[in-house]
Chains A and B, each alone.
Chain A
């Protein structure tokens, strides 16, 4: 490498590209053995974001430079070096990336190299990122529908009952069961979360005039909390999961009010955390 070589970074559309420049007027990865004049060529990173269901294209060479000016596609050789693009995203010989409307949602990348045609060893390279994003919503209601359809947010029971639908009678709504089963957690962790939702369901439905029932509910709430906290290595993760289960279970205003009735019933009271046997399924 030339001693005058320097590294520079450019911020382009949110991406940072590191390109090696030579200080002797020529550009590229190596000095050419050819007698043809070596020119300074520069490749810059590219990014294209397209909404799912729509087509779009970008030429990767448009922002690349030939002696600091515009680059003529005919003067360089374009080669794709790495790529994880899906079939619906094509790359032409001239550097044109075309995203078809059928392209699946996701983030894709490719690495490419351009070389001076007359000095084949004078090359430089850059990367491109193609993001096929979910379709934008036209309203909040549209966003809710799209997010539920794509699985980005869970589809939850919101009927006007407190307990919802629990066909397997495990004390937890079926939609909450599904939510828990879809988590990437261990079996014992999922059992702990199920226990937590069950305790919350009891809290929403407890007869607050029945002190035995209220005390039993507090004990169940405490046991579930201890169980969940004990099942995750990172306390932050336990806290997140525990709160997620609470929000998924207490997911309507009516359920929130029912939960609040129990909260008020134990206002000013105390309850202990169990020292053993907190997890019912373990």
Chain B
């Protein structure tokens, strides 16, 4: 360890001498990178599918004046990127990336479908109704256009539908309450956290917005990244929070029956107060909004009061955000390494010309190891040039080495492009301590392939 620290001190001196040249060579103001600015991270609600989470984030972007019919994503002269921090509903806490099944009384989308099938078979002896998967989505969303037509023909379906909707609202609240009392662990958060590290290193201002169960995830995200970059560089707005823990403005409507009725019953005392601006007299019920809990239909509805209030609170929070001062850079692609405890794990990148970039040789031909951590958890960070004249097609071999003290740790490696976000992530054991003898043969993690398509556009993939 001591030898390595001296090596690193010497390297820093060498790098200081090279800094001007190095950063000129990796100018950020080219087409391969989006300039520094804001990342609006959206943490999705209960039972949201990836598609619904994406649409929620897109609706929010549009509310902010971005992403709608050629509107540019600019705030205070800087670009805004919207990113979905996705969580499926029903994963057992601690299962992390290998979530396969839920706990008792916690309901995944698949279990909602099974409930639907059970109820459907109670009213339909021929079991035709149960085969209509589209009706599962109707029951969850409350937009029961197809079921209403069937109820018109067979009125007994009307009460059946209402009972099922009520049942599922209680299940949604029970799911969130269970999540609150058995919160996800670091194993569940690690990919989000590594991404937050990467964004912070690249000096992105972080605006985090959460809906429903997403509030449980955003709370840990805030607590993870805020001490690293300071509370002036990250802000949170909570929508329909499923917890009393908040780190920014929280919005809860009186008509939100999932939170105010079902969750209150399932987890008394876990409810934030309804905002005075969103009491029922100022926020009337809408016929297309059955639960009062939907992101778009309840809180972002253009005809109701919450939308402008939420927009104003996000705008105000973004106005106050300061650029993080961490040492790190944006890159056409970046590699971020974190691990789950003490020790020194090193990130190694072999560029296509076989230039080896690591703590002892931080300057590559294409990229640069701009963050090295020798104590605990990381991050370590490599960034490739944004300049298309410098970025080289070919394979970038990525490995890690347990230099010291990290035996038994799990590392997470994430590869992301500036424009497209995360393209690869993997959690793996760091292996045995190898010290500097592991430098020449680090544990292989992934190969990043950089290629050009027929138009000359760079394409990033992994092998």
Q: Chain A interface (Cβ within 8 Å of chain B)?
A: 133-137, 139-144, 146-147, 152-153, 156, 158, 196, 199-200, 203, 211-212, 215, 218-219, 221-222, 224-226, 228-230, 234-236, 238-240, 242-244, 246-248, 250-253, 255-257, 259-260, 262-264, 266-273, 275, 278
Contacts and interface: CB of A to CB of B under 8 A. Distances in A.
Contact of B41 (A147, A219, A260, A270): A270
B83 A218 contact: no
Contacts of B370: none
**Closest 8 pairs between A and B when the two form their complex, measured CB to CB:** A247-B137, A272-B421, A225-B54, A143-B154, A140-B124, A247-B134, A143-B153, A229-B58
A225 B51 contact: yes
Nearest to A227: B58
Interface in B112-153: 113, 117, 123-126, 128-129, 131-138, 141, 143, 145-146, 149-150, 152-153
A269 B421 CA distance: 10
22 contacts: A139-B124, A153-B150, A219-B420, A226-B58, A226-B61, A228-B58, A229-B61, A235-B63, A236-B296, A239-B296, A259-B49, A260-B110, A263-B88, A268-B86, A268-B87, A268-B99, A268-B188, A270-B86, A271-B50, A271-B422, A272-B83, A273-B54
A253 B133 contact: yes
Contacts of A242: 51-52, 55
B164 to A, nearest CB: 13
Given A247-B134, A273-B83, 6 more contacts: A144-B150, A152-B149, A229-B58, A259-B49, A269-B192, A273-B81
Interface residues of B, number: 83
Contact of A229 (B49, B59, B128): B59
Nearest to B71: A230
Contacts of B84: 222, 270-273
Describe A's contact surface by its main secondary structure.
helix
B97 interface: yes
Given A141-B124, A264-B100, A236 B86 contact: no
B73 interface: yes
B302 interface: yes
A224 B288 CA distance: 23
A158 B124 CA distance: 18
A142 B135 CA distance: 17
A215 B55 contact: no
Contact of A218 (B50, B131, B301): B50
B345 interface: no
A251 B134 contact: yes
B279 interface: no
A236 B192 contact: no
B51 A224 contact: yes
B96 interface: yes
Given A215-B423, A221-B54, A236 B297 contact: yes
A215 B85 CA distance: 14
Nearest to A222: B54
B128 A250 contact: no
Contact of B51 (A141, A142, A196): A196
Given A268-B87, A272-B83, A243 B96 contact: no
Interface string B183-205: 00000111110010000000000
Contacts of A246: 49, 51-52, 137
A79 to B, nearest CB: 35
A248 B137 CA distance: 9
B82 A273 contact: yes
Contacts of A199: 51
B86 A251 contact: no
Contacts of A153: 146, 149-150
Contacts of B61: 226, 229, 273
Nearest to A266: B86
Nearest to A245: B51
A236 B83 contact: no
B58 A225 contact: yes
Contacts of A260: 88, 108-110
A269 B153 contact: no
